[in-house]
Amino acid sequence: MKQIRYTDLSFRDGFQSCLGARVRTEDFLPAFEAALEAGTDSFEIGGGARFQSLYFYCQQDAFEMMQSCRDIAGPDVNLQTLARGANVVGLVSQCRDVIELHAKLFAKHGVSMIRNFDALNDVRNLDFSGRCIKKHDMHHQVVVTMMALPPGLTEDYAHTPQFYADTLKKIIEADIPYDSVCFKDASGTSTPHTVHETIKMARDIVGADVDIEFHYHTTAGSAGNCLTAAIEGGADIIDLCMAPVSGGTSHMDILSMWHILRGTDYVLANSKGEEMSFEAIFKAEEKFKECMAPYFMGQEAKETNPLIVMSPMPGGALTANTQMMRDNNCMHLYNDAIKAMREVVEKGGYGTSVTPVSQFYFQQAFSNVTQGLWTKMTEGYGKMVLGYFGKTPTAPDPEIVKLASEQLGLEPTTENVHDINDKDPKLGLAPARKMLEDSGLETTEENTFIIATCGEKGLAYLKGDAPLMTRMAADEEKAQAAKTLKADKDYAKQMFDEMGLKAAVSGSDGGPASYSITVDGKAYHVDVAPAVAGAAPQITSVAPVAAAPVAAVAPAAPAGGGTELAAPMPGTVLKIVAEEGAAVASGDTVVVIEAMKMEQEIKSTVDGTVQSIEVGVGDTVEAGQVVAIV
């Protein structure tokens, strides 16, 4: 019977896929200890979105988290992280000095293996990072990324078994040092046939002595078949997770895979050759469920969604995006953005839908939905089709390339990404150190790397100003109750108008009036301001009878005398660039909002003076909402 080893991804990809990567260290460490006690000896514990998310949302340090895991696990357990080639742990591709520091610091803080991938399968982006990983004495697992193209698209080569085999051959021909190979399908859309043929061809290429690992999400419902196909094709190791972060957008549960293999010639085991114990893993999962019980998990993270094959959104990006959409009060746009991804993938050159490319796809799809089809070219997607992240598997649509060039002011390029970035004065360790020095912070290697990969949000963490944005179940229940109450109030206002009570007030003696009305069995206290200068009376508050009075609605901004600047899409206010009273020219940035990890500058459309700023930093805004008046 052949033993199939497994890596538990619960504490990185499980968190990223089900909880938007927003989990605090102290909350999961007891479950990590339970998994160790159950016999698991290979874990993914960091990298990917679980680097930035700790600084952005959790008020915690990723290096301390990784070190804590190593201190608990001891020296012999494999603790691996995920790296995005030239992008290391962010959406922005980096200079060589940042890529090298990444390997140095992760080795320093307890990481034994780095899984290293490039979403475009451009092997140039794996070369330098792979050499850095080996230089710092870690296991380098080189990756070929996979996905299925949406049905109906006619591309004959990209994302076929032959394409993946040729990518692996290019890695070998480039003499990139590696210890093992992983085939990674983050969207879970490849077919069992493609998986089996790909792994079989890879085994013929690398021989019997190189481990092949297979990574596949359960999002579209094909994981059991595809994991089995990989095993039968010759995979040595598969990626799994523990409940409550298994299934749905994540990975096959360890216990479920154990069950699938019952009665076959295969059995799950750890690296020491010890067969997996169902009872021990079950006990560890119970502890994990207890640890994660306070966290909110969206319904979309728990369900299988076969429509993902139409628009290959990876599980690790799906809930990260839905969490951000909840932050920005635009979750209602999710289905439209997912549907819009199909065209974005097709016209973008068929890069694999895994971070950062999946985020570029989603950002552009979100922009197409909120601002009009191809009206606004997002920076990440535009730079990708222009070649600034490497060579796409096929040539992008020429019209999209032209549009990106015109809007971003950049020419298409085939230059090596590392050379491009090394010439950019805004990238690298030197500007990161300067930012630290200007802020009076220590210029340690860790701090420098945090700034280089996390920018101003990393700086906010180091200064103690980062927000805590973990999403807890109790908080979500309160937020939902508040939304329900607001909906009730809005409905009561509507019914109040329809009952003609405004007209009754206008015929009164002109003083303020209060009413108690009942709508659908619910009693409300309604305050109405009198008519002024011929204007209609105004409802100033609506509150359930048992509730405390609601504050009066703020008066609207005075009409006339200025040009309104509106948000083009939903988002969160990141910066106020021009304060009230400041002189601005047409084209000057007044406010910056952020949505889906992309910044949107709201510029003045006229020369003039900023009359008023209608929002504050941290406010969420809707598409079309006025943010400033010039």
Rounded to whole angstroms, the Cα distance separating 591 from 243 reads 43
Q: Is residue 214 part of a domain?
A: yes
311-329 mean pLDDT = 75
Residues comprising the chain, all counted: 630
Q: 485, 511, 544: which is the final residue of a domain?
A: 544
Residue type, 112: S
pLDDT at 555 over 60: no
Q: 239, 265, 298: which is the final residue of a domain?
A: 298
Give the model's pLDDT for residue 14: 97
Same domain for 593 and 499: no
As given in the structure block, the two tokens for residue 451 are: 């700034």
Rounded to whole angstroms, the Cα distance separating 550 from 536 reads 21
As given in the structure block, the two tokens for residue 383 are: 């730079």
Give the model's pLDDT for residue 505: 40
Rounded to whole angstroms, the Cα distance separating 520 from 121 reads 59
Give the model's pLDDT for residue 279: 97
pLDDT at 503 over 50: no
407-433 mean pLDDT = 97
Q: 298, 327, 346: which is the final residue of a domain?
A: 298
212-232 mean pLDDT = 97
pLDDT at 230 over 50: yes
244-270 mean pLDDT = 97
pLDDT at 291 over 60: yes
Same domain for 618 and 479: no
Tens of pLDDT, residues 580-624: 889 989 889 999 887 666 677 888 988 999 999 998 887 888 878
pLDDT band at 536 (very low <50, low <70, confident <90, very high): low
Peptide bond into 467 cis (omega under 30): no
Give the model's pLDDT for residue 313: 79
Same domain for 167 and 19: yes
Q: Is residue 304 part of a domain?
A: no
Percent of the chain with pLDDT over 70: 86
Same domain for 215 and 168: yes
Tens of pLDDT, residues 104-163: 999 999 999 999 999 999 999 999 999 999 999 999 999 999 999 988 887 899 999 999
pLDDT at 99 over 80: yes
Where is average pLDDT lowest: 337-346, 549-558, 562-571?
Answer: 549-558
Same domain for 569 and 540: no
Give the model's pLDDT for residue 327: 76
277, burial (CB in 10 Å: exposed 0-12, middle 13-18, buried 19+): middle
pLDDT at 556 over 50: no
Q: Is residue 30 part of a domain?
A: yes
Give the model's pLDDT for residue 325: 80
Decide: 348 and 396 in contact? Cβ < 8 Å: yes
Give the model's pLDDT for residue 507: 40
Decide: 592 and 574 in contact? Cβ < 8 Å: yes
Same domain for 540 and 574: no
pLDDT band at 508 (very low <50, low <70, confident <90, very high): very low
Q: What is the pTM for the complete model shown? A: 0.80
pLDDT at 48 over 80: yes
Where is average pLDDT lowest: 52-66, 435-449, 598-612?
Answer: 598-612
Where is average pLDDT lowest: 133-147, 370-384, 453-467, 471-485?
Answer: 471-485
Rounded to whole angstroms, the Cα distance separating 260 from 350 reads 33
Decide: 45 and 14 in contact? Cβ < 8 Å: no
Rounded to whole angstroms, the Cα distance separating 300 from 161 reads 30
Give the model's pLDDT for residue 498: 56
Rounded to whole angstroms, the Cα distance separating 125 from 417 reads 7
Same domain for 573 and 535: no
Q: Is residue 305 part of a domain?
A: no
513-531 mean pLDDT = 62
Q: Is residue 530 part of a domain?
A: yes
Give the model's pLDDT for residue 80: 98
pLDDT band at 558 (very low <50, low <70, confident <90, very high): very low
Same domain for 607 and 477: no
The total domain count for the chain is 3
96, burial (CB in 10 Å: exposed 0-12, middle 13-18, buried 19+): middle
Tens of pLDDT, residues 83-95: 999 999 988 899 9
CA-nearest of 134, 51, 135, 53 to 94 is: 51
Give the model's pLDDT for residue 243: 98
Give the model's pLDDT for residue 356: 87
Decide: 78 and 69 in contact? Cβ < 8 Å: no
Give the model's pLDDT for residue 571: 79
Q: Is residue 361 part of a domain?
A: no
Alpha-carbon distances, residue 450 vs 427, 428, 440, 455 (angstroms): 13, 12, 15, 7
Same domain for 586 and 523: no
Domain that holds residue 532: 473-544
Give the model's pLDDT for residue 242: 98
Q: Is residue 524 part of a domain?
A: yes
Same domain for 199 and 290: yes
Q: Is residue 317 part of a domain?
A: no
Q: What is the DSSP code (8-state) at residue 446? A: H
pLDDT at 51 over 90: yes
pLDDT band at 303 (very low <50, low <70, confident <90, very high): confident
pLDDT band at 307 (very low <50, low <70, confident <90, very high): confident
Where is average pLDDT lowest: 3-17, 50-64, 289-303, 546-560?
Answer: 546-560
Domain of residue 585, CATH code: 2.40.50.100
Domain of residue 152, CATH code: 3.20.20.70
The contacts of residue 68 (CB under 8 Å, 6+ apart) are: 25, 29
Where is average pLDDT lowest: 37-41, 134-138, 212-216, 543-547?
Answer: 543-547
Same domain for 293 and 240: yes
429-446 mean pLDDT = 98
Residue 80 has a CB neighbour count (10 Å cut-off) of: 23
Q: What is the mean pLDDT of the chain?
A: 88
pLDDT band at 102 (very low <50, low <70, confident <90, very high): very high
Same domain for 595 and 520: no
